[in-house]
Amino acid sequence: MPLINLFSRRKRQAQKTGSDVYQYDDIPITVRVQFVQIVRECIGEFYEQGYVASPSVPLYRDMVRIVRKELGVFILPPSQEYDGHNDAQEFFNWFLNEKRIEYVLDGLELGFHAMQSVKDDPYRFRNMDNPLTPPDEAMAEMNARLIEAGIGYQFHGGQIIRMDSQAVHSTVVVPALTLLAEKQYASAEKEFLAAHSAYRSKDYETCLVECNKAFESVLKIIGGKRGWAIGPTDTAKKMLDAAYASGFIEPALQNEFTALRSLLETAVPVMRNKMAGHGAGAVARNVPRHFASLQLHQTAALILFLAEHHAANP
């Protein structure tokens, strides 16, 4: 759902510098309020009276239960045990007041999951109380609100992922995630999303390891379907040798693809070997964020190339 092109929005856009830079340490109150409004419009209001309850009740209840357990509390602050709140009010009041960004992102992710549940089971939620916005439109609007506010997070593939560049994100990362959502790439999708989760949590060493696993998984999946001479424990280089030997890249073009082969063989596996994946020894290893960011984007680009080339050459 495109955002309504109001005067205030046109003015903000005209004043932008064009810089593709995002912030990651705060979700402003205006965006939090918009999130509350969007979730309510999508999954409906909380209603429970005796044995009668709206279909959204279990969604709100799950959201509250998960956050309570994560925070180790019986009631989410600032709500009190006997103040007459319901689960929706407790969740939203907490979300609007939470100071720690990692938990705010947890709340954001849970709200997206609730909207995704409505999409995945429309029959169950057909009698929602006052829903106004279909889930696809609601989730697209929330992602658009985050971008407009200069917040570098988006919901894709079932989780909140960090976005360093809108251009790279929209042209490389999102298409790669779309391809990985195909059933045949399920294992690689899980690993690539794990890399994004580690990146968001600032566990950059794990991010590198998971990127390499996702890259190798895509090679194994494609190689298995094409009958390459590869084994279950082969390295990325051995699998790429088999890919070239099998003609996956046409012989007539292989000279033109020398740089591509070098990139495929070294970009993801070598960075992983140098920066992660082995014991650190006596000195703790510190993987810089920009290294992990490069690895994520390289992995997405190479996965996208391999999967699209496989699909284009049956």
Window from 23-32, 75-84, 106-115, 132-141 with minimum mean pLDDT: 75-84
Supply 240's token pair: 């790429």
Q: Which amino acid is at 250?
A: E
Say what the pLDDT of residue 288 is.
85
Supply 149's token pair: 């506010």
Other CB atoms within 10 A of residue 10 CB: 10
Say what the pLDDT of residue 36 is.
98
* CATH architecture for segment(s) 171-312: Up-down Bundle (1.20)
Asked if pLDDT for residue 254 goes beyond 80, the answer is no
Reported as a pLDDT band with limits 50, 70 and 90, residue 18 is: very low
SS3 45: coil
Domains of the chain by residue range:
14-163, 171-312
> What mean pLDDT comes out for the span 280-305?
78
Mean pLDDT of the chain: 85
Cβ(59)–Cβ(43) below 8 Å: yes
The residue with tokens 């650190």 is: 280
Supply 46's token pair: 């909380």
Task: Write the CB contacts of 86 (distance below 8 Å, at least 6 apart in sequence).
Answer: 46, 48, 60
281 CB-contact burial (10 Å; exposed 0-12 / middle 13-18 / buried 19+): exposed
Asked if pLDDT for residue 1 goes beyond 90, the answer is no
Say what the pLDDT of residue 220 is.
96
Q: Is the dihedral of CA 234, 240, 241, 246 positive or negative?
A: positive
Say what the pLDDT of residue 280 is.
46
Q: Is the dihedral of CA 250, 254, 259, 262 positive or negative?
A: positive
The residue with tokens 């590198």 is: 208
Report which of 293, 296, 4, 297 is spatially closest to residue 144, judged by C-alpha positions: 4
Say how far apart CA 84 and CA 136 lie, in whole Å. 33
SS3 161: strand
Supply 95's token pair: 């979300």
Supply 163's token pair: 């976005």
Cβ(228)–Cβ(242) below 8 Å: yes
How many helices (H) and strands (E) the chain has is answered by 14, 4
pTM score of the predicted model:
0.74
Highest-confidence segment of 160-169, 222-231, 284-293: 222-231
Asked if pLDDT for residue 135 goes beyond 60, the answer is yes
DSSP result, 198-228 = HHHTT-HHHHHHHHHHHHHHHHHHHHHHHT-
pLDDT digits (tens, 9 = 90+) for 158-188: 899 988 777 788 888 989 999 999 999 999 9
Other CB atoms within 10 A of residue 161 CB: 24
pLDDT digits (tens, 9 = 90+) for 229-242: 999 899 888 998 89
